[in-house]
Amino acid sequence: MGACESGTPDAQAGADGIGDAYAPLLGNGGYDVQAYDLDLAWDIVTKELSGTAMIEAIATMDLSAFNLDFYGFEIRELAVNGIVSDFSRDGQELTIMPQDAIRAEKPFTVTVGYRGVPEVWPDRVGGVTSGWMAAGGAVAVPPFSNAGWFPSNDHPRDKALFDLRLTVPKPLDVVSSGTLVETIDNGNTRTFVWRTGCAVFMPTVAIDDFDMLAFKGPNGLPVDVDFRAGDKVASEVAEQAGVLVDILTFFGDRFGPFPFETYHLVLHDAMSEVAFSLHTTSVIRREVFADSVLAHELAHQWFGNSISPHSLGDMWLLEGFATYAEALWVEHTTGEDILVSYYDLIRTMGPPGKPPLDNVYDHSVYGRGAWTLKALHTKLGDDLFFDLLRAYADRYRHGVASTADFIALAEEVSSEDLGMFFDEWLYGEVMPPVPGLGAEE
């Protein structure tokens, strides 16, 4: 990577936030991360995580200093382009002062060596607990969990390639984002090497002594279900998870090809959340496994992981889409319209296009977000609606999209002015009725 250059009198410190009004201190300004390369080890006895993170980035302005998001840990070394650099810490903000300013458009590399027991913390925007959770094994739990186990630009707007080398004691296994490219036997430990083939926002990792069931999805897609070795209940649940191949086929017909090279389902209990889905990997608590939960999490591979939100205020593009996908699957398999069943509850929710600043995972982004899509589906009809979803999944594949982007594409595909429709459904304080569905009072 290019070296920092001196003699830059106009260099300034990058912002300590990426510019998202919903999360002023998430992410950072002044640079664009290209790749993360982590070389870590985890001790199951002490729960300590240690190693080195190398971050490749490109400056978007002349930088005298810049921030990374990083929570906890002892930093043992920190260098920019191989030169030891000063740094300071304030909560999640790690401020780095390179010896020489970094010129705009120049690539640079940050290397951080660290160690410590990862901490969890109440998420500042979702109202839930994030971070690295250890219980038997370990799992990195979203939302915005990157900063809880490696230094990062922790906002979905800045996606990057991700390589992970994680060493764990035998007989533990590691499941992460992307593809397992190598397993190295070190004697008493093993190193698992995972790599993504495209830019991601939030990679995950799950550690345990896993058994695995392997499937083939549509077009030969490698699919595996990982569960704790010797857990009879988890094994029985994993057998049920074969339905995911049917869900993949159902969604592929409606949303387009699966956006990644592989898919992993992990049944794990080292977390408080029911389930979550990150790049190529979904994690579900085994005791709450159901195909409707799986459908919701699987839909996030298209809407949330392949396409990430430009702002946390766009969260309905994730949760509303996944909830509607879940409803489509349930109706396909049981005939029940769950959105109609829960209409009386959902109609009391606020506007999904402007969730509360302190809770972007408000129920409205799920329920009313899904009803927005149901109303759009009714308005456009099957052909145009699914043409729109396939076009959206394709145009913004592995990228970032905003609500405005989706609305513009909907108008392009339908050749209709949908401004008033989306104003009412996404931003109106009162949820409008759905014509023809008997949902009116």
**Comparison of pLDDT for 129 and 13, the residue scoring more:** 13
Confidence at residue 441, expressed as pLDDT on a 0 to 100 scale? 43
Residue 113 reports pLDDT greater than 90: yes
pLDDT in tens, 66-107: 999 998 999 999 999 999 999 999 988 999 999 999 999 999
User: pLDDT band at 6, cuts 50/70/90?
Assistant: very low
User: pLDDT band at 4, cuts 50/70/90?
Assistant: very low
pLDDT in tens, 321-352: 999 999 999 999 999 999 988 888 898 999 99
Confidence at residue 440, expressed as pLDDT on a 0 to 100 scale? 46
pLDDT, mean of residues 228-238: 80
Confidence at residue 309, expressed as pLDDT on a 0 to 100 scale? 95
Residue 27 reports pLDDT greater than 80: yes
pLDDT, mean of residues 261-281: 81
pLDDT in tens, 191-224: 999 999 888 888 888 899 999 989 899 999 999 9
User: pLDDT band at 439, cuts 50/70/90?
Assistant: very low
Q: For CATH 2.60.40.1730, list the domain ranges present in the chain.
A: 1-207
209-306 folds as Neutral Protease; domain 2 (1.10.390)
Task: Report percent pLDDT > 90 for the chain.
Answer: 71
Confidence at residue 400, expressed as pLDDT on a 0 to 100 scale? 96
Residue 136: CB atoms within 10 Å: 12
Length of the chain: 441
pLDDT, mean of residues 249-267: 96
Confidence at residue 119, expressed as pLDDT on a 0 to 100 scale? 80
pLDDT, mean of residues 126-132: 63
* Contact (CB, 8 A) for 295 and 326: yes
User: pLDDT band at 274, cuts 50/70/90?
Assistant: low
Confidence at residue 126, expressed as pLDDT on a 0 to 100 scale? 59
Confidence at residue 11, expressed as pLDDT on a 0 to 100 scale? 92
Confidence at residue 3, expressed as pLDDT on a 0 to 100 scale? 38
For tokens 């949303």, name the residue: 255
Confidence at residue 78, expressed as pLDDT on a 0 to 100 scale? 99
pLDDT, the chain, mean: 90
pLDDT in tens, 363-386: 999 999 999 999 999 999 999 999
Q: For CATH 1.10.390.10, list the domain ranges present in the chain.
A: 209-306, 312-427
User: pLDDT band at 402, cuts 50/70/90?
Assistant: very high
CATH number of 1-207, picked from 3.40.50.920, 3.90.220.20, 3.30.450.40, 2.60.40.1730: 2.60.40.1730
**Comparison of pLDDT for 56 and 435, the residue scoring more:** 56
Residue 1 reports pLDDT greater than 50: no
Q: Which CATH architecture has domain 312-427?
A: Orthogonal Bundle (1.10)
